[in-house]
Structures are given as C-alpha cells and as structure tokens.
C-alpha cells in the first residue's frame, strides 16, 4: 500500500492540482498543492482571508485530485470520443486540521523541509498551514490503448491513519456463478480470470464499468452501487446487441 511519502511524491509529479471543499452544500474547487509530508500527514497552505480557509475550518474535510498524462491536450478518436494517452491520476479525501504557527516552527527546527513553509508565512502573514491527517485515496494508472501492457488499468487504493476505504473492483459471488463466460467476453479491461467452476475479477485491473454486472444471467456480480432492475435489463439488452453486431 502507498505510504504518505509515496502519495506526496505522486502528487508532486504535477505541481498544482485541484482541492475540493463543500461551501453551503455545494462543491467548491481551486488549484493548490501539497508542500510537505511527515508521519502526521500531507501539508498544504492557504490564506486566512480566502473562502478556502473558511470552508476548511467549517467542514474540516477536503478532496484532492491530480492527473498526470504525457499529453495534456485533449484529443478525440475518429468517432469523436475522448482519447487519453497513458498516464495516471491520484486522488484522496480526508480530514484536515490547521497547524499552529508555533508548532510549524518547532517542526522546522527538526525537519528542514518545513522551513519554506515558515518563511512563506513570515512573508505573507495571512498564510496558514493545514495537514490532511486522515485520508483514503486511489492511484489510477491507465493505458487505455494498451500501448505498453496487455491491460488498460492498474489501480490501487490506500488509506492513512485508519480512514475507511473500499477495495477496488467488482466481485463475483462464487455460489451464483455458473461459469458461462459472458462477463469474460464483455470485459474490455482484461480484468476477469477464467475458471471452470466460477470466474474471478482482478480488482486492480477492474474499472468498475459495469459490463459484467449487466450481462451476468445469474446476478452473480456485485456492483459497488447497483442499478435498478429496469436499468440493468436495458444495459443488458444494449450490450448484447453491441457485442452481437461487433463479433
Ligand atoms: S456472467 Fe455471471 S455466471 Fe457467467 S461467468 Fe460471469 S459471473 Fe459467472
Ligand atoms: S466491472 Fe468492467 S472492468 Fe470490472 S470486471 Fe466487470 S467488465 Fe471488467
């Protein structure tokens, strides 16, 4: 599992990224960046005069997302669908708390990487520091055209300081699977392993796209957020018709 330093380094591969908070019941988002890490979590700064500060103080929660791709320009395939060159995104959500300036100076005495944070506050005295001290997140490494490997996706979920998280990937219930292979044929992520008695999903390859869930005749696939029976039946019909005409 990615530790706090690994997570910091992944985010650092892109200098700035999006930090989301809740403002009067609506999501609000802006660009910021992590400036340090230690065993206490991931540190970032903002100014006390900004709405970001007020929202952090009120909700004590944040979500962060960064995308790293070799080509940052959007492009489209011949059908007009978005094309994504290989890359990865990393995201997390967690609990934040403000770090007192005296505490920060104390940290800087023992760990030089906190000194720039102190200097920044001395230069801009409205500045303050927060730490994400509990979080869960995901690293999503994609190669949708399978340019460098035989599967589109490698994903990993992680947590810090006991924050709850759910493993990636859908699950096939062994006792309901009749090994018909429909899910295997429908999965474009190479995430399903064949079996004689039942099939199995490799969670780190699984995009949770729902194709296996839609085609399964015995309802053996557990989706993270199941659809209504009506929507599932519709998806089943559409997918079967697509697969039939693209044989
Ligand atoms: S479609 Fe359902 S029953 Fe068929 S192999 Fe997959 S999980 Fe098993
Ligand atoms: S949810 Fe999608 S990616 Fe995951 S196993 Fe099913 S078909 Fe494959």
- Mean per-residue pLDDT, 108-126: 96
Name the residue of 183, 185, 212 to mutate for ligand 2: max ligand atoms within 8 A of Cβ.
Answer: 212
C-alpha radius of gyration, the chain, whole number: 22
CATH code of the domain made up of 171-245: 3.30.70.20
CATH 1.10.3720.10 fits 4-160, yes or no: no
pTM score, whole prediction? 0.89
Supply the pLDDT for residue 13: 86
CB 140 within 8 A of CB 89: yes
CB 222 within 8 A of CB 203: no
Residues with beta carbon inside 6 Å of ligand 2? 170, 186-187, 189, 191-192, 201, 206-212
Nearest CA to ligand 1 atom 1: 216
Residue 130 phi/psi, 5° resolution?
-125, 155
Name the strand (E) or helix (H) holding 68.
Answer: strand 61-69
**Residues 176-230: pLDDT tens digits?**
999 999 999 999 999 999 988 999 999 999 999 999 999 999 999 999 999 999 9
Sorted by where each begins, the domain ranges of the chain are: 4-160, 171-245
* Ligand nearest the Cα atom of residue 221: 1
Ligand 1 centroid to residue 78 C-alpha, Å: 33
Which is the closest atom of ligand 2 to the Cα of 210? 1
Which is the closest atom of ligand 2 to the Cα of 205? 3
Q: Which residues pair with 65 in a beta bridge?
A: 18, 91
Half-sphere exposure of 16 toward its Cβ, with a 13 Å CA cutoff? Answer: 4
**Residues 135-184: pLDDT tens digits?**
999 999 999 989 899 999 999 999 999 999 999 999 999 999 999 999 99
Supply the pLDDT for residue 84: 78
């Amino acid at each position: 599992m990615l530790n706090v330093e690994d997570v910091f380094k992944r985010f650092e591969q892109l200098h700035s990224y999006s930090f989301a908070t809740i403002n009067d019941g609506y999501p609000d988002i802006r660009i910021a960046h992590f400036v340090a890490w230690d065993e206490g979590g991931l540190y970032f700064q903002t100014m006390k005069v900004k709405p970001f500060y007020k929202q952090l103080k009120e909700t004590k929660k944040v979500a962060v997302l960064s995308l790293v791709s070799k080509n940052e320009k959007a492009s489209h395939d011949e059908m007009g669908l978005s094309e994504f060159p290989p890359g990865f995104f990393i995201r997390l959500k967690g609990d934040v708390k403000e770090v007192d300036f005296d505490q920060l100076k104390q940290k800087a005495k023992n760990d030089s990487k906190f000194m720039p944070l102190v200097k920044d506050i001395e230069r801009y005295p409205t500045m303050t520091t927060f730490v994400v001290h509990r979080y869960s997140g995901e690293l999503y490494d994609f190669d949708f055209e399978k340019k460098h490997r035989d599967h589109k996706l490698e994903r990993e979920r992680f947590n810090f300081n006991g924050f709850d998280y759910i493993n990636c990937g859908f699950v096939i219930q062994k006792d309901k699977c009749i090994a018909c292979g429909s899910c295997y044929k429908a999965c474009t992520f190479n995430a399903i392993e064949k079996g004689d008695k039942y099939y199995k999903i490799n969670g780190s390859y699984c995009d949770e796209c729902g194709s296996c869930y839609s085609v399964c005749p015995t309802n053996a696939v557990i989706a993270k957020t199941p659809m209504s029976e009506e929507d599932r039946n519709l998806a089943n019909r559409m997918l079967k018709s697509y697969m039939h005409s693209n044989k």
